[in-house]
Each structure stands twice: as C-alpha cells, then as structure tokens.
Amino acid sequence: MDDESLVRAARGGDRAAFGQLVDRWSAGVHARQLACVRERSGAEDLAQETFLRAWQRLSQLQDPRAFGAWVLAIASSVCRECLRRRRTGERVMEEIVPAAEPRAPRDIDLPLAEAVAQLPDELQHLLVLRHDHGLSCDEIARQLSKPLGTVTKTLSRAYEQLRERLVKR
C-alpha cells in the first residue's frame, strides 16, 4: 500500500496501517534524530516522540501523499525543541538519567546522517524516498505528482549539497 492509502486507513483507526507508516519512515526519522543528539537512545526517544505526535495530529495532514515530508518536518521540530531545552537548561530525560556511552548504530553513517539532516526538508524527503525506500526517480515522480525532470534535478541538487557538506568536514 502507498502512504496515502495507509494514512487514510490509519485515520479510520487502523493502528496496523500506522505501524506500516512507522516502519516505512523510521530510518529517515531516526537518522535525523541521531544527527541532532548524536546518541542512540536519545535519538530513539526523539523518534518515538515524533511518531507519537504524528499519530496525534494525523487528522491535520492535508495531503496524505505527503506523509513522509510531513513526518520528517515533525522530526525536525522535535529535534529543535530538544536542542532548545538543552540550551535553556530545562531538564530532559537524557539529562536526568545518564545514557550509556554514546554510539551510533552500525547501519547509520553518522557524518552522512548529519549532512542529510542539514539539508532542506524537500531534499531530505527525496533522498529518503530514493535510498531508504529504494524508489526509482520515475516512482518518486509519480508518488509526488511531479515531473520526472524536476525530481532528477532536485536529487542532483541534494547530492551536490551533500558533497559540499561532507567535503567541509
């Protein structure tokens, strides 16, 4: 099932459909959160918060086909809130209960995840569709209702910006 069908089913109360959306988008959300907090358990907590908010606000999603971009935007918001709390000294769970030694999961390249997290949401969304979901440019264009040339040009821009960010390291 595509995102649109799963969102519609989830809105109807189908938790399994929402679970499929979580499975589909968890890698992208987790990578974004890991780049934000640089600590696995903290990233997992933020990812859970992201999907909880998505479930609670699912009725507010205007275009069910845009679930991926929408949930990644929520992930960014959750991350910004976490960083703000840390800057202002608010106590957050990971500060109350010290975490184990920070470590990245084996399947996520931290410098790459950080570089992707710094890209605009639209570019991140395309990269997640292309690499995490293995969609071809044609499939992405159909899913997003965009011309193929727009998708390929935007992906090229995303790759160029990633190269620039990774070379600066």
Q: Which pLDDT tens digit goes with each residue over 62-99?
A: 999 889 889 988 988 898 888 787 777 654 444 433 33
> SS3 for 99?
coil
As a whole number of angstroms, the distance between CA 115 and CA 16 comes to 32
User: Which pTM was predicted?
Assistant: 0.57
**Nearest by Cα to 114 from 154, 155, 159, 162:** 162
- On whether the CB atoms of residues 31 and 116 are closer than 8 A, the answer is yes
What mean pLDDT do residues 30-36 have?
A: 81
More confident residue, 1 or 114: 1
Contacts (Cβ under 8 Å, ≥6 apart) of 118: 35, 165
| Complete domains list, the chain, with CATH | 3-167 (1.10.1740.10)
pLDDT tens digits, residue range 4-24?
Answer: 999 999 999 999 999 999 999
Q: In the numeric block, which tokens belong to residue 91?
A: 């106590």
- On whether the CB atoms of residues 126 and 28 are closer than 8 A, the answer is no
pLDDT of residue 110: 61
pLDDT tens digits, residue range 140-151?
Answer: 888 778 898 998
What mean pLDDT do residues 121-141 have?
A: 79
Contacts (Cβ under 8 Å, ≥6 apart) of 100: 41
As a whole number of angstroms, the distance between CA 165 and CA 169 comes to 7
pLDDT of residue 99: 37
